[in-house]
Structure formats: structure tokens, C-alpha cells
Amino acid sequence: EVQLVESGGGLVQPGGSLRLSCAASGFTFSSYSMNWVRQAPGKGLEWVSYISSSSSTIYYADSVKGRFTISRDNAKNSLYLQMNSLRAEDTAVYYCASPLAVADAFDIWGQGTMVTVSS
Amino acid sequence: AIQLTQSPSSLSASVGDRVTITCRASQGISSALAWYQQKPGKAPKLLIYDASSLESGVPSRFSGSGSGTDFTLTISSLQPEDFATYYCQQFNSYSFGFGQGTRLEIK
């Protein structure tokens, strides 16, 4: 079964750091690009970051550029998001997502992990 | 970055109605647009990719059209399970942004 499972969310103080993980299974992880998408409580979806299959190409949303770092370990079938200098507005459910069977769309999503930034 | 504007932001409709949601891009994106359905507490589900291609397993009452800057998602005959929030997303630039969403509610 194709699956993405996020972990690492929790409560962190403003200015703090957190590292999210996304474990992939059921497909050849190293062949596919990956993304992080977030959703603040009661709000819409916001694309956060993209990483190509080989890690050679990386993009970030302007709202997280310079604070968040996306990475992956193809040997461990895992995707990461290092989040530094966290702000209250970073509070959200964070999803990992990927285009598997289609080129320009996210056809596989994880269940999400909640990040709360609060003192 | 390319901006996507959905309309309406919310919509009330009845079972059996035909519903159309619009997504407008701030610049041309060819057909690099996807539509998703999201229900409360769940991850989004892909409905349409490449503006008009139906994702495998998605009912045929869902359809997408458009290219360039103007796109539509149509549900031909609303079913009870279709009441949800719908988002468009573009893939034509270095940021894969979403529209603000359209909440579809039962009338």
C-alpha cells in the first residue's frame, strides 16, 4: 500500500525549532519529487516547499524562505522539514504530498502532523 | 508568484444540482492546474489534473475545463458526499500555490 506518514509535530515556543519527518512506503521513493503543504486552523491550503527526487532542485514559499529547510534521505525513504525561527503564524497541520501517477498534481498525501507555535 | 482566485468563496446547493466553481490565475498557466476536494479533518483528495483529466476512481460527475488563466470545476449532479471544500492548485511556476478554497454547503 502506498503510504506517507508524517511525524514530529508538537507545541513549540515562538523562535523555537522543530523537525518534521515523512516516512514513505509502497513506492520507489527515490524516483519522485516531494512537497510540504500546510493548513492553519480553519484556513486554506498553503504550499510550503518542494524537493526533486535527487534533491538537486528545491523551492520554498516566500513565507518560509530562510527559516525552513526541506531535505530527504532516499536510503531511508524519508522526507524532512527543518523549521527554525518559528512564528505563531506557522501554526498549522503540515502534510507531505507527492505526484506519483500524474505529473502536475499531488495524488498522494499523508494524514498530517499538527504544529502549534505558542508561548 | 502566480496567484489563484476562486469564486465563489462559498456556495449553497441542493442534492441533484449542477455546480460550477471558477479558478482564475494571475497569469497564463497553460493547463497546469489541479482540483482537490477536502473534508473536515482529512487530507485533500485529488479530483482533476492537467485542468481536465479525471483522477482514477473519481466519479464522472466531476469534470474540469479551461486553459490559460480561466478554469472551472463542474459537478453535474451533486451527491450528499460532495459537500466539502474545493481547492485549485497551479503547477506553472516555482511555487505551487493554491486558490483560497470554495466551501460547498447543503441548502
pLDDT of residue B19: 97
d(CA A35, CA A20): 12
- Residue carrying the nine cell digits 466531476: B62
pLDDT value for B78: 97
Query: What pLDDT is stored for residue A57 in this prediction?
Result: 96
Interface test with B, best of A2, A34, A45, A62 (most B CBs within 10 A): A45
d(CA A95, CA B69): 27
Is B50 within 8 Å of A47 when comparing Cβ atoms?
no
Mean pLDDT (chain B) is 96
pLDDT band at A84 (very low <50, low <70, confident <90, very high): very high
B10 touches chain A (CB under 8 A): no
Residue B2: the pLDDT is: 93
pLDDT bin (cut points 50, 70, 90) of residue A103 is: confident
Inform me whether the pLDDT recorded for B81 exceeds 80.
yes
CB-CB under 8 Å, B46 with A44: no
Contact B98 A50 (CB under 8 A): no
pLDDT exceeds cutoff 90 at A70: yes
Tell me what the pLDDT averaged over chain A comes to.
97
* pLDDT recorded at residue A9: 97
The mean pLDDT value for A59-64 works out to 96
Question: Residue A12 — very low, low, confident or very high, per pLDDT cuts 50/70/90?
Answer: very high
What is the reported pLDDT for B94? 86
What letter represents residue B34's amino acid?
A
B87 contact residues in A (CB cutoff 8 A) = 44-45
Q: Which residue of B has its CA nearest to A106?
A: B46
> Beta strand pairing status for B70-75 and B62-67?
antiparallel
Q: How confident is the model at residue B93 (pLDDT cuts 50, 70, 90)?
A: confident
Chain B residues within 8 A of A105 when measuring between CB atoms: 34, 46, 49-50, 55, 89, 91
For the segment B36-48, the average pLDDT, to the nearest whole number, is 98
Ramachandran sector of residue B81 (left: φ over 0; alpha: ψ -120 to 50; beta: rest): alpha
Residue A45, C-alpha cell as written in the block: 491550503
Closest residue, chain B, to A47 (C-alpha) = B97
> b/e per residue, B22-38, with b = 16+ CB within 10 A?
bbbbeeebebbbbbbbb
How far is Cα A58 from Cα A56, in angstroms, rounded to an integer?
7
**Cell numbers standing for residue A65:** 524562505
Q: Please give the Cα distance from B4 to A71 (Å, whole number).
A: 27
Which A positions 83-102 lie with beta carbon below 8 A of chain B?
Answer: 95, 97, 101-102
The pLDDT value recorded for residue A45 is: 98
